[in-house]
Amino acid sequence: MSARIIDGKALSAKVREQVGERARALAAKGIKPGLAVVLVGEDPASQVYVRNKAAACEAAGMTSRVIRMAADTPEGELLDVVESLNADPAIHGILVQLPLPGHIDTGLVIETIDARKDVDGFHISNAGLLMTGRPLFLPCTPYGVMKMLDSEGVALRGAEAVIVGASNIVGKPMAMLLLAAGATVTLCNSKTRDLGAQTRRADVLVVATGKPGIVTGEMIKPGAVVIDVGISRLADGSLAGDVEFESARRVASAITPVPGGVGPMTIAMLLVNTLEAAERGA
């Protein structure tokens, strides 16, 4: 068996095209969706992510505003910037790029963002709405994963879904979305005993730990759909996912590559959330 590749680049291109059409419809009414991205510090990976997000916005006919701040920026100054963006009618979505420097309270910054502009879906109000099945914004990466599963026609109702990684950004909201789709969900964390015993039960396996190769082919159920969210740069400069790709593709029925899988979909769904925020405002 050789798994079919779930092409995140191709799917994200379709999503972006749809976003562009809707953005043009809003522009005809005099409204241009606007996304503000705040970058604190000079983390190389964060700078790449911010550039990609800004370029995607512009390509979709949306306004992108990047605010760069020094790594030693006082917390209060950052909060003031967020408050000013909350009050700006030209900005429909606000994203503060994570991680933030250690002296800044990440939770406080996220909670300062107006929940109606929280296009990352991290605000406690949006997390609570997701928990109760009435989300205002879906976190971009889990949202993108669900789009990928839907595009592949993966039957989630009654399926065994296993998630490796229990973060607030991916693992927990991913579990909520899969539950809402009717899957039986197991959420694994760093304390899980015998991880392989859990992953081998999965019809759908989502891995999001940031630990390269933590899941190998022998840990995957034959025919499973494997979604690799992780991406790490190795010592030789190459990029690797959380799943050992070559051994996994010989077992799985479908798998996402790294790069070119989940990453492009995360940015595409950020555009969708920003567009929806603007449409609600209209």
Active site residues: 53, 97, 120
What is d(CA 257, CA 5) in angstroms, rounded to the nearest whole number?
7
Quick one: tokens of 94?
């606000």
Nearest to 58 by CA among 67, 46, 50: 50
Cis-peptide, bond into residue 259, ω within 30° of zero:
yes
What is d(CA 266, CA 228) in angstroms, rounded to the nearest whole number?
13
Cβ atoms of 271 and 15 closer than 8 Å: yes
Cβ atoms of 6 and 264 closer than 8 Å: no
Is 278 exposed, middle or buried, given 0-12, 13-18 or 19+ CB atoms closer than 10 A? buried
What is residue 61's DSSP assignment?
A: T
- For tokens 């077992």, what's the residue? 251
Nearest to 203 by CA among 162, 143, 264: 162
β-pairing verdict for 184-188 and 254-255: unpaired
